[in-house]
Structure 1
């Protein structure tokens, strides 16, 4: 399911989330949406089937996310991601990353060239982790929008 952040079904995805926390998430999401104005971006996406922990499995079950595609023309790729996910241990986390296409001798498909994972727990709430990831994402979006710039930052081969 996809749409604006205002369309996110909070009671379905996070039924125990207090209204003040939902407000905090909305404020943070507006920051991202304001930075993305005029970009060819995808909408926010959510996956009600992942609202409860699906158990350990291959892959990361995404509950809520945004993929800001700056460049993906079939030849190269530059994406900025923000996702609320389940960890293998059954905890919520907020992941954000800059992702580029791979030009290594061995094709790895893509690389996260900068990434952060903030697990939700006793010391970090969902709104705090989400806000910190939004700050990181908006900072990345202010950097050059050239995939080779990001590859060079981590020593990956250019296109």
Structure 2
């Protein structure tokens, strides 16, 4: 996860990441429809340091219980779940094409590139993430879905162009 320039930048990124992920996945689907690449998604979890195997198993067992819990049991299961370390989901797009090496794309990194002004996940500098203010309505601060979609489309198109 990148370092943020300010607490406001972190807050704005939190607002943008899920919409960015939605736009990224939609644009990837469109690119896959028009290419020879086949894509599958993989979900992994990044656990806080010190999380043991038993805690991870308990987390998943409680998540499963939560999905089928009665209204009376839901709050109890949710409270138990909150006592455990919380993982961060990691979403990866795995691309395959006959005669090509498999490619993997970290979707969160792509979303950070969309939300940020000039985010480079490969940069070794200590730069901090600044939010791309063109993605926000200047008067209300609300997310500008049109700008978000245009930037997501452009970056996803670049990713697929770089596959060749």
Query: Fold match, TM over 0.5?
Result: no
Higher relative CO (CA 8 A, sep ≥ 6), structure 1 or 2? 2
Higher helix share: 2
Q: TM-score, normalised by structure 1?
A: 0.34
State the TM-score, normalizing by the size of structure 2: 0.33
